[in-house]
Structure formats: C-alpha cells, structure tokens
Structure 1
Amino acid sequence: MALSSGVDLEPSARAGHRDPAPAGGPGRRAVLRVLRSDIAVVLSAGYIALVLLAAVAAPLLVQVSGWGPYDFDQAAIDPNLGGLPVGWGGGISAEHWFGVEPGSGRDIFARIVYGARVSMTVALAATALTTVIAVVMGLLAGYHGGVVDLVISRVMDFLMAFPALIFMIAVLSALPAENRQLLLVVVIAVFGWPYLARVVRSQTISLTQREFVEAARASGAGGWTIVFREVLPNLRSTLVVMTTLAVPGYIGTEAGLSFLGVGVIPPTPSWGQMIASSVSWYAVDPAYFLIPSVCLFLLVLSFTVLGDRLRTITDSGELR
C-alpha cells in the first residue's frame, strides 16, 4: 500500500531549448509505436480498458446478467452446508456468471463490476488531486526557493516521515460513513503528494537554471509566465510516468483500507472488502477469494507494467 512510486527522472528539456512534442507529433507517434510493439503493454492496456469499461457500464452489465450487487439469491446457497453456494466453482452458472457469495447469495459478477467503480474512482481521483497539489507545491518550492522552499520542503519531510497507514486507519475509523469514497481520496492525497512534489521541485530547480528560462527572464517575462510556459511543459513526461505508476499504489491502498474495515463501508461493493469477507470461506469456497484477488492483482500489475514501460521510454529519450 505504498503511496510513492519511487521514480526519480531527469527533466526532458535540453539545455537552452524547450521543445515539448506537440499533440500527435512525431515524438508521441514514436512512443505509441513502441508501446504497441510490446505485447505486455498491449495486454496491460487492454485489461485496464476492460476494467474501465466494466466500471462505466456497470448498471447496463447487471441488467444483462439479471442480478444487482445488493440482490440476494437464497436459492443459490445451501443452508444445510452453512450457506455454501450450490454448484461448481462457487455457484458459477448461466444465471450467476462468477458465482455467488457464500452465506448471502449475492451475485459476485455484479459486485465485481461495481467494485471496479469504487477502485477506479478512488484511485483516479486520488491521483488527480495528488498531482494537482504536488505540481503546485513543487513549482512554488522549486521556482521561488528561499523561505517558500524551506517551508514546503519541511512539510514534505514531515508527511513522508509520518506513519501514513496508521493515521489513515485512525482518521477513517473516527469519521462518519457518509461520503467515504471522498474521504478516502482526500486522506490518500494528503499523504501522497509529497513524493511527486519532491520530484517536481528538483526538476523545477534544474529547469530554472537553463538558458531558455534565463532568456525568458531577459525578455521581460513574468514569474507565472515562465512557470506555465517554460517550466511546466517540460515536466509533462515526468508527470505522465509518475501518475501512471501512482495509480496502482492508490488502488492497493483503497483495497487495503477496505480489507481492514476502514475503507468503503458495506454493503457498497469493493474488491478489498470482498477479499476480506472471503478470508473465512477460502478453504471451502476458494472461488470467492480468487475472483476479486485476481481482478485486483491484474489491475495493479497492468498499471505497473504500463508505467514502467513509459519510464523506460522516458529514460531513453523517446518521450519528450
């Protein structure tokens, strides 16, 4: 459940020149060509797209399957066997595509696709909020320096040294259950932004010493103009890579907090919550444990593979 990707990238700008590749330019086409030639990246991107599609189309998918995430099918479980699903593979059938939950009879497929909504919403929203905070703080610290840099750097050091997981558990346990997904996003972002901000700060310091920034100052450009037109565009490749690598960490964080019982509150579906519920059943109904576990593992792995490949391309200079 780490909140940091641990990536340390060099700025893409060359001394005395700022040449970010335009949308659809040769640099981007070359990157897409390299990515398409990697079967692992293609499979990872395909699985991510599949999960996103399932999350967006969850209401339609459960209408097709015929069972919602909160519907109980008592006929699909055997009370004489302690509530175990009837049939093979945890109750997998034409009616229940992924089987049913033991004890309750809720449809696992419906809870998987709605759980994908929770995982992706929390992870992507936390990544977006973290990136915004990190870019603002990193640019302020790196460009202005002095007291501003000192204060922001000490705040980053404090948050990075703080036991984030313990604090998350304590805060989420004390807060009301309403708007739990929003609370998860905020809490994750509070402890996640310093890792990216530190990279943004270091690259901003390096970029502000380049000749193209000095030329902009000499031409009379203001501070905000330099930051947004000269510095920020040269951080684009770094932000793309690090945000891609941050998403799997936040997916794992949400799942872990839900597993510990302080994340998404039942009966809202969550992959981490489903894994936690399956612990007491895995010996007699391994399918209930394996299905959400495999879905979560493949999603984290896919984002990690994609982010790692982007990092490799960036380090090789193909992504500008």
Structure 2
Amino acid sequence: MTIPSTGLQVPAESPNEGDSAGTTPPARWSVLRNLLRDWAALACLGYVGLIVLMAVFAPLIVKVSGWGPYEFDQSAIDPNMGGIPLGSWGGISGEHWLGVEPGSGRDIFARIVYGARSSLLIALSATLLTSLLGVVFGLLAGYFGGRTDMVISRVMEFLMAFPALIFMIAVLSALPADDRAYLLVLVISVFGWPYLARIVRGQTMSLKQREFVEAAVASGASRRTVVFTEILPNLRSTILVMVTLAVPGYIGTEAGLSFLGVGVVPPTPSWGQMIASSVSWYAVVPTYFLVPGTFLALLVLSFMVLGDRIRAAVDPGGRS
C-alpha cells in the first residue's frame, strides 16, 4: 500500500526570482498565519496534537485510568455468554472509560492509548526514512542526469509498478515476528520513497536551469554546495507537503497490515489489530469496532486535511 503520486507541483522558492506565474511564493510566516486562520486546519492540528501527546505520555495516562493494556478484568465480562462485556455499550463505565475487549476483559482505552504509540511510531519512522531516501535519490537523479538519472528512474519505475501489498504480506509473513515494527518501517519505506523521489527529481531538473543556480556554478561553487545550499532549500515546500500527505497513508498501511495479521504482533496494541479482532464481535459488541475505527479514521482524515491546507497555503494560486 504505497502512497499514490499526487502530481503535486509546488513553486520553488527562489531568493532571486518569483514562480513561473510571476508571483512570489508566500513567506514562511505568511503560510503559518494562513493555517492559523483556517478553522479546519486548527481542528485537525488539535486532534493530531492530542493523539501525539497521548502516545508520548501513554504510561502516565494509563496509570491515571487504572488499567494497563495487558491487564485482564474477568469481572467485566460474562463467561456464560462467551465473554461479552457486562453492562451497556461494551462495558463502558467509570472504571473502563471506553469499555473492555470481549473475551479477554482488557481495557480498550489503555489499548487505544498504547495503540496510538505503535501506529505513530511506525508511520513517522517510515515517513522519515522515505523522505530521506526520496530526497537523496531525487536530487541525484535530477541534478546529475545521464546514467545516474537512468538507473535511479528505472528503479523507481520498477518499485512503483510492483504489487507492493502482496510483497509486503509475503515478506512479513516469512520473517520473524520479534522485530516486526522495524520490518514494517523498512518494507513500507522501500516501496514509498519513489513517489517523493520522482517529484524531487522533476523540481531539481527545473531548478538547476534557473539563473541563481547557474550563477553559483559560474562562481566556482562545488556540486555539493550547489545541491545543498541552492537547490535543496528551494524544495522545502514540496517536501513538507509530501511528508504531510504521506503520514496518513503510512498509518493506514500499518493498520491494514495489522488487520491482515502481518503487522504488529499481539499482544502489542495496534489500532488495526483491534479492528481485526473486533470483526467476530461486531454483531454483539459494535463499540469494540467503532472505538478504534473512529480514532483511526479521524487521525487519517486530520493528516489529509492538514496536507491539503498546507498545499493550499504554500501554493495559493494552484489547483486542488
């Protein structure tokens, strides 16, 4: 499940020139100001911030709630009814804020909190590695061209045409489960970096023809200096938007792989794993599915809206 290309075209921020339409890209503070005036962006940012804080302070939050993610509360389920939670709405009460898992009695709130940590850690790590690989290979292909561009472009085309989901399932199923989180990050990144690299390559090929880059070359600047001080700073907007749009895709990928049984290994909490476990209980305890499903859907939606709003703020004249 790699992130499809968005076809994003973000104008480069050149200190010497405006963009191709003759307008100057908004300054950094102008972009931030536009985002802070957007109620949808603020709401999404608030929710993302809440989930991040929940993941960071998971041990403290769980301690306050009174139940850990691995603790069983047999008194909260009815063994004569197959382990159905006692009480209404899946056992939601002052003791179990979001109810308990059917069959086990584990606290859903505690597992949601620790599941956020698993999902964000994998998604953000994969985004970081993907961004690093995409930027490096995109710069190399776009600036040096020739054989370098040909080799990197063929590799990108191969990975983008490859059935990534099938490969992920096959590889993760065959490898040991001990380091599954690291393997998830590695496998997701292998298939994710070409999409950013292709956009960085195109932007780099355009930027290296600009006058300020040609002036730096003419003044005797080394290739390294030209790439890292002239071209890369002008790709910040493109990279920022792509990274923001990539995070929700990787959160969904982790959840999907966990749902299929090749993601995070039980008993480690994961939202996708919780959704998978809820399938057999949905008819009798729908809240067990709705709680992690709602948290996951809102997080993915928030990142997607933020990415769209950042793109609009960076390129106000562009089309969605």
Coarse TM-score class (shorter-chain normalised): over 0.9
Give CA-to-partner distance per residue, 1:164-184, whole Å, 9 cap, x none.
000000000000001111110
CA distance in 2, matches of 1:67, 1:139: 49
1:12 touches 1:317 (CA, 8 Å); kept in 2? no
Q: Any residues of structure 2 matched to 1:241-280 within 5 Å, and which?
A: 241-280=241-280
Amino acid across the alignment from 1:91: G
CA distance in 2, matches of 1:220, 1:36: 42
Report the Cα offset of residue 71 of structure 1: 0.3
Distance across 2 between alignment mates of 1:15 and 1:143: 19
2:80 maps to 80
- Give the Cα separation in 1 of the matches to 2:143 and 2:16: 17
Partner of 2:142, secondary structure, is helix
Q: Does residue 96 of structure 1 match 2:96?
A: yes
Q: Distance in 2 between matches of 1:260 and 1:69?
A: 21
Kindly provide the CA deviation profile for residues 40-85 of structure 1, in whole angstroms up to 9, marking residues without a partner as x: 1111000000000000010001111111100000000001111000
Conserved? CA contact 1:5–1:246, under 8 Å: no
Post-superposition CA distance 1:232-282 (Å, at most 9, x none): 000000000000000000000000000000000000000000000000001
Aligned twin of 1:287: 287
Aligned counterpart, 2:112: 112
Partners of 2:189 and 2:148 lie apart in 1 by 21
The 5 A counterparts of 1:187-206 are 187-206=187-206
Count of residue pairs brought into register by the alignment? 312
Q: Following the alignment from structure 1 to structure 2, what is the Cα–Cα distance between the partners of residues 118 and 15? A: 41
TM-score, normalised by the number of residues in structure 1: 0.95
Equivalent residue, structure 2, for 1:52: 52
Supply the AA of the counterpart residue of 2:119. S
The one-letter code sitting in structure 2 at the alignment partner of 1:36 is L
Equivalent-residue separation in structure 2 for 1:39 and 1:124 (angstroms): 25
Quote the offset at 1:27 in angstroms: 1.9
**Cα separation, 2, equivalents of 1:11 and 1:138:** 17
CA contact (8 A) 1:4 1:246 kept: no
Contact 1:139 1:227 in 2 (8 A): yes
Task: Give the whole-Å Cα distance in 1 for the aligned partners of 2:10 and 2:51.
Answer: 32
Provide the rounded CA distance (Å) in 1 between the counterparts of 2:233 and 2:28: 14
In structure 2, what is the Cα distance between the partners aligned to 1:260 and 1:89? 26
Question: Identity over aligned residues, as a percent?
Answer: 70
Shift of 1:3: 2.1
- Residue of structure 1 equivalent to 2:226: 226
Q: CA RMSD in A?
A: 1.6
Verify: 1:313 aligned to 2:313, yes or no. yes
Question: Per-residue CA shift, 1:128-152, capped at 9, x if unaligned?
Answer: 0000000100000000000000000
1:280 match: secondary structure:
helix
Q: Is there any run of 5+ residues in structure 2 with no aligned partner, and where?
A: 20-25
1-structure distance, mates of 2:33, 2:191: 36
Asked if 1 retains the 8 angstrom alpha-carbon contact of 2:11 and 2:315, the reply is: no
Q: Which has the higher contact order (CA 8 A, sep 6+)?
A: 1
Tell me which residue corresponds to 2:297. 297
The runs of 5 or more residues in structure 1 that have no matched partner are: 20-25
Deviations 1:95-146 (A, max 9, x none): 1001000000000000000000011000000000000000100000000000
CA contact (8 A) 1:119 1:255 kept: yes
**What aligned pairs does 1:206-221 form with structure 2 within 5 A after superposition?**
206-221=206-221
For residues 241 and 169 of structure 2, the distance between their equivalents in structure 1, rounded to whole angstroms, comes to: 29
- Give the residue type in structure 2 aligned to 1:77: I
Q: Work out the CA distance in 2 between the residues paired with 1:27 and 1:308.
A: 18
